[in-house]
Structure 1
Amino acid sequence: MATYSADYLKRLLAAVEWFEEVFGRWMETQEESDHVQSRGLFPTVWPKDRQDQAAVRMLELDVAEAAGAAARAVTVAGAQIAVAGIGVLDPIENWSLMSAPKALFTPQEVRTTAAKVRGRLSGMIDEAEAVSESAVPGFAPSELHTVIWTAAAAHWTTHQYRVAVREAAEALTVHWKGILGRNDVDDTVFWQQTLSPGEPDSGKPKLAWPGDPTDKTNRSMRGGLEPLAQALKNLATGLNLTVRNVTTHTRDELTEQEAMERLAAYSYFARLLDQCEIRRAEEDEGE
């Protein structure tokens, strides 16, 4: 049995409610009959006398548009009607057949179908929300930081998890070396210089957490921003030693779970870096 998200079901429900609204407005311009009165030979609806035909045609277009949006809901809710000699049909999608000779549906059957669909969708929404609340949150690698996932994706999809992690780690370093113009230094030294506390030297810009370094009320770090700068440098060094170097200099494969954890660590690090300010030496500012 197919399962649907609560959001999708709510959109279907809104489409059905819209159909009911415009269908009701159109029916105000129509005479209504049923199969007994029409004897199975005539339409079950026809325009009332002295109606503005242009207005009626506009209403019919509204109903047609609403029916198109709501038609999927009938299938999802399983509310089709079996018509003898023809098969199973959707009364909402085929509402216009009421105006044809030997009409297959009556207005009341269309209304009943819409009401039934609303009821079933409401129950399905409740069930979908209950399942969502009880489900364990999923983890989607594609939602990781763009730099990390872009580098890892091609290898991840072929189950080369160690290579995926290695490429992600390399990509983050290459990304920031390019932004800061620091292709003159090895990776470990680059992070040590870029994230070290203090003012930047000429030609060696730094990434710093925004704010006044002496402000000890800053909630980013209890002791002020100076310890946070050191923490970022330590995080970069730790990831380089425990993840990047291991995946580069060994051939030990990683499991999917192990690789996800390592990519998540780099993704978090990448997002922290995005929040940092680039600080350059005064003599470099005008270049």
Structure 2
Amino acid sequence: MTDYGEDYLRRLLDAVGRFEDAFNAWIETQQESDHLSSRGILPTVWAKDGQDPALVRRLELDVAEAAGLAARAVAVTGAYISVAGIGVIDPISNWSFMSSPKAPLAPRDIRMTTANVKGRLEAMLTDAQATSDSSLPSFSPAKLHPVIWAGAAAHWTAHQYRVAVREAAEGLTVHWKQKLKRNDVDDTVFWQQTLSAGEAVDGKPKLVWPGPAEDKTAKSMRGGLEPLAKALNALATGLNLTVRNVTTHTRDELSEQQAMERLAAYSFLAQLLDQCQIERFDSDAAR
């Protein structure tokens, strides 16, 4: 199901096509490389010898304009890519990074993403056409937290709902493990340690809910409820045990409704984690 109308999806698909045409015209003026050849420190494209600088600039502006028109396409389809040390990135909006030193993108990334986006939009258009006569309200997983949808999107559009949930759950854990440099521990233990009470210790940064530690989840009743920080720990650990572990270690398929409910829970967790502050041990912060 999708809550994007047929007209919007067609216009977005057309915008991606315009971006692809503009990109292909511009790339003809460029010498292409890749991450291996650039050794991770050089651009992955540069102007070919003998090119007219005025022509290159005009074609470059055409790509920039087309990328602006297609800017929502990656967010709608979830076709982000993960770049080590940076996180999830939108290759269409950030195509110009190829011309920068230490370029995180190569021409192949742009072409693959563009083709992927077009395929996903066509699948979403097919779904929209199939449900256009329905009066029931719809829910779009593409509007979930970008880390969650980035992990789920490829499998969701193929109707592999269990795998979509598993990849979204693992993607959130990988995202924070990389950010905190904690690839030394299993997933459940990672959340238990990272969201536990107390100060950070050497090699084990903490995610801390902002504000006073005594803040409660509700203050309208005597004594309030559990502290927010403690509740967040329980939420992260509980989802890992009841959702991630189940979708990883069993082959029981999920319905679309069941999968949406689980993705929504992880999206809420991801939004809460984004509000947390990272606290590091003194020696870690200095590294």
Length-normalised TM-score, structure 1:
0.50
Larger radius of gyration: 1
* TM-score normalised by length of structure 2: 0.50
